Amino acid sequence: MSDELLITVAPCGAETMRSHNPAVPYTPQEIAEEVRRSYEAGARMVHVHARLDDGTPTQDAGRYRETVAAIREQAPEIIVQVSTGGAVGMSREERLGSLAADPEMASLTCGTVNFGQGVFENPAPLMLEFARAQLAAGVKPELEIFDLGHLDNAAWLASKAPLEGSQHYDLVLGVPGGAAGTPRNVSELASRLPAGSTWSATGIGRSHLAVIMTAIAAGGHVRLGFEDQVERSPGVLAGSNAELVERAVRVGELAGRSVPDPRRAREILGLS
Ligand code: KMH
Ligand code: ZN
């Protein structure tokens, strides 16, 4: 079990709006400042979604370049992972726009899943196209698992596309329509990952604490931030992404896990 804890911050996502929490960042500068504070608190990777100034989610290449450039200026050492998930209903071409920002990693969701009232569509040909696009760009995929069958899809994907080196997974639990954010689901899914994989877990909404505590105890890493939860405790909004990161650092310390330096963080993920 790793004695280091890699924390990924997901500062805004595509769905969380200021009506949910007034501190959600939208502009490149606002996102970058949240990322800097999160880095200073202990986050070592950022899962980036771009927004227009009014908060509309976008996968536009130019807006991603601008957002990632602002992040790199404010937090030069953080690992940049862009989203290829975008928002429900976006076309595959649109979703791939984020790769133009020259990230080190990108998300790659391993299957279709109900997503609230919508459907987050990731059929097999799209998964393969996204894997090939990422590999061609020298980008390491983070394989996102929203439900049990997604693990089988990931194994299928690995048999079709050369996902070189160790694979990195994020167990995204608690999306209405996907697997629930419970300790049992974290343990079960983690136990089924290919040997040698690295993994993190994300708990949506109020499942957050149970999910990250289980992951930390089980040797996994964690993702958190306004994309995934806007409250620090039931009924109390988090003031910033950094506040959520700080708490995960404290939980990690209690479990004997420390924050790696940026070089070690890249080593853990097999990034050069
Ligand atoms: N916004 C969700 C529909 C990802 O970034 O790859 C998809 C999502 C996953 O957030
Ligand atoms: Zn995302």
Count the Cβ atoms, other than its own, within 10 Å of residue 28: 23
Q: Is 120 in the pocket of ligand 1 (CB under 6 A)?
A: yes
Q: Whose CA is nearest to atom 8 of ligand 1?
A: 85
DSSP assignment of 62-102: HHHHHHHHHHHHH-TTSEEEE-S--STT--HHHHGGGGGG-
Q: Is 144 in the pocket of ligand 1 (CB under 6 A)?
A: yes
Q: Whose CA is nearest to atom 6 of ligand 1?
A: 85
- What's the pLDDT score for residue 246? 98
Mutual angle of helices 148-160 and 183-191, in 10-degree steps: 30
Measured in Å, how far apart are the chain's first and last C-alpha atoms?
22
Query: pLDDT band at residue 1, thresholds of 50, 70 and 90?
Result: low
- What's the pLDDT score for residue 126? 98
- Which tens digit of pLDDT belongs to each residue from 70-104? 999 999 999 999 999 999 999 999 999 999 999 99
Q: Which residues touch 168 (CB under 8 Å, ≥6 apart)?
A: 105, 140, 141, 142, 143, 197, 198, 199, 200, 269, 270
- Which tens digit of pLDDT belongs to each residue from 112-164? 999 999 999 999 999 999 999 999 999 999 999 999 999 999 999 999 988 87
Q: Is 14 in the pocket of ligand 1 (CB under 6 A)?
A: yes
**Domains of the chain, start order:** 7-269 (3.20.20.70)
Element (H, E) at 236: strand 236-237
Rounded CA-CA distance 28/120 in Å is: 25
Which ligand lies nearest the alpha carbon of 14?
A: 1
Rounded CA-CA distance 184/20 in Å is: 28
What's CA 251's distance to the chain center, in Å? 19
Which atom of ligand 1 has the smallest separation from the CA of 49? 5
The best mutation among 47, 107, 110, 169 to test binding of ligand 1, ranked by most ligand atoms within 8 Å of the C-beta, falls on 107
